[in-house]
Structure 1
């Protein structure tokens, strides 16, 4: 590929620490630069601006998305915490009535950031006219990036590849009937217009291609960013058998079954409770999930809240076992949490609570780790006790038993470049 070839990369989230949807793009930018790809970026105001690249950011026109974007902008100011809190309260008061009215009229679902479609479409068109990119690459997450780029690609004829970080259609994926229809339409636009459609799981690709058998699907695992993963740390030297969960807990992705299994494990192994710690990092959303944690009868849970990505990786490397929890519903059959790639590369023991996902189960077990059904308390209890016995004997951190992972960002970027090259070549 000629080094003058330009990519226009469009994603709602970019350069936002702790946001997995942003990391997909953020991690690949240095590698694209090494491969002499010239990139132009378009995103929302949620993340920081890349100063060394042409990075255009635009605001949404929907009240709900705009409120969130202004909130992110406030967090980046140098104001005192008290002023930030006051400002956030004022924004909430001003925006709440409009957001409430908007939700009554438009029930497309907050996950789509629909209010970003029009500003992103106009901006994408202007960039394409001014800079004439050779490729448009959208990634999300929010489908607004795909709809904006799809319309412009159809009009201009510029080759477009769309990366679906999550499936758009399927059981338990969307809530309202309107949302289901809207996302199904988005999927149709993507498949009928894009040169290639990138999925992050084989099952997601096969499910979508059953509806659109056009041969456009490609699977690329996002992989681990090995440049920021810390060195291996042996946890057997520590006093506590610690299991760490990193990431948000929400809806059916919660600790209900894990905590029930842990309580049974403590009964079966009475000495374990005094030597155990459950370390939780990330957001907790929902009163029911908070109650599950607060009402656990053993005082072994430490909640640390949300921390920066690099700090999270350091804490992951210090845990005896890394806990991966999938949603206990059908969306999990076609998705793989991006956190698993960091876990695998760290070569720390993993306890994967997997729901109806043979692809993820095989991935974890093939690297030497343990998988239990996400809703099977007996299986989870056995896995906890098995790891505890290994830790007690000093065998848990024998790194040889865990297969090195080659699912990396570098590999993903190589695959992405090949897809881009073929798409550009077809258009010439």
Structure 2
């Protein structure tokens, strides 16, 4: 291989790379990188050759950690010319040769490891190389019983090189049992021992992980999954992750398919296995690049080879332009529903995400297959990829054009009011309507479902209903209008119109509380029979793998947690802060024994200003958002969970109430006693309620909870609450929604008979 130098590279290619790489992720693939090429494999990439390729890749691309790059791609934040470095299989040369090269250049890489070698099962290709390398010169030809191959000569370097290539290509696609039997024949023929084959050690693995590099699963013994029985294939996929996580004591979220050619080495059933095994994404070996529309379980990879800088640049450009081969995952049979939801992964910071996401996860078990119509990630103020893995691979997600007027159509955060009608994301109405019409023609759904917030979601649902004639279910959750909100006269009038249109034209209107339903039944008495209640709930799946965590707070400190947004007026923590101030001033509890944590409050500056006003800012802390699973673990690790719900929210029950109750931890509710939140909480144990306006009541309840905390030794779990709350699991709520959808479908013409009734806007 001729030298490749970054300084020699053709700089005129840079503008072209910037242009064609936008929104595309290049993932580079390497394997074994010895210091010197093996005498029986002179064409393999050695360390010097790898360094030249790496330097050129760094010149052409910005090298990112794999997980960071995939998250950026999914949230529309991927920088131009982004690439990742990956290695497959597992070799002792990685720690000795590759890692120092990467560290000197400050480059991250992810290493995909076969775990069988840690238990005495070397890679099959390494067994071939080790055995043939040690074959005596006078050895008779090898005859593999049951292979159908001609006798294989091993009496010269030429014949040995040919034998390695022949056996590698042949044994690779043999079923695991046949491959092992023939490898044992080879080893017996030459007198080699499997346990002497050099392998990567578990200490090597831990050392690579400790240096900050990524670790991924690559199966246990590197079989071709398509040649394995289903149960065996799943054990290979899931077993690798379990073994790696146990050894590195960290999370393994990525998988690389062995050999990795879609349709040949793995199929749709193996994609489902990878997801079921708990991986968040998976990589193939087909050329091409990943885009925002690429399945996270079919990310392509490419190995450049040069030999000159210009040739390598052309290879990379061709790869950027190549469309990767992907497998179509079979769509499950069932009735189809189009679900219009603004709050959907990767959007972060809204409880509405969980409602729609869990409906999407659980509706298929009731015979409904959803297609989600959501907004492009650019429209979200905050993005997080932690929930993307929960979207079923069979769920089609359409992300339509949308802008946020406050960020994209403003000057110094000021924008015309007309651009925010009915809300700041009004551009989604046109983008969502056009995308929805295309999907309706493609999927032929039986109905449309839309969820508030935001108002534009119902506007899209109403428009699609009007244009296509498909029945519509409007998921209000909570009333759209409340006293003083929205405050703008034109916006309020428009919201009133959307609400009235939904009540008149939707087949069903869904609410999360009984009071909200009754409010609408009184407001629209002739439509009272179409109002139904499907409460918020909690995701049981996340609790089965969650463990109590309280980072930064010792177990002997009384920890109160509020998880989620605080509204300084309607969810005012002032009474709590006044109560804590009095408790400390009167010496009822030591100041150092208390910690009040607000997680993802969004109004952190107002909360801390109020804490300083009460001279308890050393007790109060505001911390940034964390992943949903981590937030649940933090709830489990807290001593008291806080609820703030003023009079303005009386018809509502916060979604986190159900998660709070599922933890079994004690709850302190600062509420209006006439509200639905109070009525829900008072039916459970380990719950103390106080008026949100009364610091004396809060003080009394807080001291009572602390006394119980002290008496129980810091552990106070209500198993009765856990048993009682289980009927509010998201899975059960999805069944209730499926019943509503079934009622709609039973009264409408099937979509397959609609013909060309879909009209243009």
Which bracket does the TM-score occupy, shorter chain normalised? 0.7 to 0.9
8 Å CA contact retained: 2:664, 2:717: no
8 Å CA contact retained: 2:537, 2:655: yes
The structure with higher relative contact order (CA 8 Å, sep 6+) is 1
- 1:226 corresponds to which residue? 540
**Over residues 232-275 of structure 1, what are the superposed CA-to-partner deviations in whole Å (9 max), with x where a residue is unaligned?**
7599x921111111111233123212101111222345334231
- 1:259 corresponds to which residue? 577
Cα distance in 2, alignment partners of residues 412 and 145 from structure 1: 21
- 2:358 corresponds to which residue? 27
Matches within 5 A, 1:119-268: 119-213=431-525, 214=527, 215-229=529-543, 233=548, 238-252=555-569, 253-268=571-586
Question: Which of 398-407 and 290-299 deviates more?
Answer: 398-407
TM-score in terms of structure 2 length: 0.49
Matches within 5 A, 1:22-421: 22-46=353-377, 52-60=394-402, 63-64=405-406, 67=408, 95-97=409-411, 100-103=414-417, 105-106=418-419, 108=421, 110=423, 113-213=425-525, 214=527, 215-229=529-543, 233=548, 238-252=555-569, 253-285=571-603, 287-298=605-616, 299-326=618-645, 328-330=646-648, 332-355=649-672, 357-368=674-685, 369-394=687-712, 397-400=716-719, 402=721, 404=723, 405=725, 406-421=727-742
8 Å CA contact retained: 2:449, 2:472: yes
TM-score in terms of structure 1 length: 0.85
**Over residues 9-53 of structure 1, what are the superposed CA-to-partner deviations in whole Å (9 max), with x where a residue is unaligned?**
111121134431211111222212333422211100236676643
- Aligned-residue Cα RMSD (Å) equals 2.6
1:232–1:402 distance in 2 versus 1, CA, 3 Å: farther
**SS where residue 572 of structure 2 aligns?**
coil
Question: Which of 296-305 and 345-354 deviates more?
Answer: 296-305
- 1:77 corresponds to which residue? none
8 Å CA contact retained: 1:116, 1:144: yes
- 1:76 corresponds to which residue? none
> Shift in Å at residue 364 of structure 1?
0.8
1:198–1:154 distance in 2 versus 1, CA, 3 Å: same
What is the aligned length?
A: 395
> Shift in Å at residue 157 of structure 1?
2.0
Cα distance in 2, alignment partners of residues 314 and 156 from structure 1: 45
**Over residues 390-413 of structure 1, what are the superposed CA-to-partner deviations in whole Å (9 max), with x where a residue is unaligned?**
111117605356463122101110
Cα distance in 2, alignment partners of residues 12 and 402 from structure 1: 32
Answer with 1 or 2: which has the greater Rg.
2
| Structure 1 unaligned blocks of 5 or more | 68-94
